[in-house]
Amino acid sequence: MNKDIAGTTVDVNEEGYLTDMSQWNDSIAAAIATEEGIPSLTDKHREVLQYLRQKQSAGEALTIRSLGKSGVVTTKELYDLFPGGPLKKSSKIAGIPKPVGCI
């Protein structure tokens, strides 16, 4: 299904996650963040998003625990940066599929 985000038509699934990682860019990330209640992305947000994209590209499973142990961000910081479902929200903003463990 198609959705217009930041002036670009992208492919998304029924939950709004991008289905093609290559369609993602910084403007799309900022627009999705706003939709998710995060008014602006800081450098720390962007660092987490890039980390998630790298891990997804490598085929690694993503969990809050593994992200908290990554050295990129602590679990508490992750919850502060992406309140109300940190891995689910950060994955959506990063333009990657929803992690398997997320409801």
The pLDDT, as a whole number, for residue 45 is: 97
CB-CB contact of 89 with 67 (8 Å):
no
Catalytic residue among 6, 31, 72, 102: 102
Question: Which amino acid is located at 1 in the chain?
Answer: M
CB-CB contact of 90 with 49 (8 Å):
yes
Tokens of 1: 């299904």
The pLDDT, as a whole number, for residue 27 is: 96
The pLDDT, as a whole number, for residue 101 is: 64
Q: In this structure, which long-range contacts are made by residues 72-76, counting pairs with CB atoms below 8 Å and at least 24 apart in sequence?
A: 72/47, 72/48, 73/44, 73/47, 73/48
Query: Could you confirm whether 102 is annotated as catalytic?
Result: yes
Low-confidence spans in the chain with pLDDT less than 50? none
Tokens of 79: 């919850």
Q: What is the pTM of this model?
A: 0.93
CB-CB contact of 96 with 18 (8 Å):
yes
Following CA atoms 63, 69, 89, 84 in sequence, which dihedral angle do they give, to the nearest 10 degrees?
100
7: left (phi > 0), else alpha (psi -120 to 50), else beta?
left
Tokens of 25: 């860019």
